[in-house]
Amino acid sequence: MPREITAYSNPLIKRVRSLREKRHRREEGLFLAEGLRILTEARESGRLPVYLFFARDSAAHPLVRALVADVEAAGGEAIETVPDILSKLSGKDNPQAVVGVFEEFSAKLESLDRTAATIWLVAERLRDPGNLGTILRTGDAVGAGGLILIGECVDPFSVEAVRASMGALFTVPIVQSGWDDFLAWLRSGPGQLVGLSLDTDQHYREARYASPTFLLTGNEAQGMPAEYAQACDLLVKIPMLGKADSLNAAVATAVMAYEVLARA
């Protein structure tokens, strides 16, 4: 039976609210996700929150009832609260009906089956949480095997990245790796490393892609280091026909992913 919390001073509310900061997420190994759609995606993918906060006026919704039942059956705790508390937890003035506290998770390179998908996404020093979330959504849309984050990337479990992923955080495997470890793993089996670059004449629609394709997107501001580009099996360019000198990293990844998918 869910308990009720309506006081801002409740220790659990303070603890959960602190998860909006990276330091506390790392200390606790927990992160926040909000919204009925995202939490339902998580439930359907087999991941349930350890704490589920839901608004009193949404308790009768069938998806909320399903979440409450599954969370409690799995040993988690469902907590009925008020919109003001949900707003305090999420940091939004118009809070969602549900907020979940999940255990952090990630895959290991050695656990990946590279033959399980035609496309894999690789992002290097990605800094914007919106871009990370959007790339996860693209990965889900094209059936990518996973997203491999190289170097000092933005935290995929930040509130902003989780929100931008629209549930894809729970459906697309994420690996965090150093470049040397990734390259060694990649070269231990099949896989074509394709880099997005402006320093090539190879048109992205005229290139030949081999499965599985590992699509490498560099840092938003600096692109990828020269040694990373040199390690690629293929560098391709998306032509710019207007005044802009480049596409947004997430947009470029999506354009490329669908091109590779079309050739599969």
Task: With cut-offs at 50, 70 and 90, classify the pLDDT of residue 1.
Answer: low
Please give the domain boundaries of the chain with CATH numbers for all domains. Answer: 3-103 (3.30.1330.30), 109-263 (3.40.1280.10)
Which is more confident, 79 or 264? 79
Predicted pLDDT at 91: 78
pTM of the model: 0.91
56-83: pLDDT as tens digits: 888 889 999 999 999 999 999 999 999 8
Task: With cut-offs at 50, 70 and 90, classify the pLDDT of residue 10.
Answer: very high
What secondary structure does DSSP assign to the chain, as a single string? Answer: --EE---TT-HHHHHHHGGGSHHHHHHHTEEEEESHHHHHHHHHTT---SEEEEEGGGTTSHHHHHHHHHHHHTT-EEEEE-HHHHHHHHT-SS--SEEEEEE---B-GGG--GGG-SEEEEEES---HHHHHHHHHHHHHHT-S-EEEESSPPPTTSHHHHHHHTTGGGTS-EEEE-HHHHHHHHTTS--EEEEE-SS---BTTTS---SSEEEEE-BTTTB--HHHHHH-SEEEB----SS-SS--HHHHHHHHHHHHHHH-
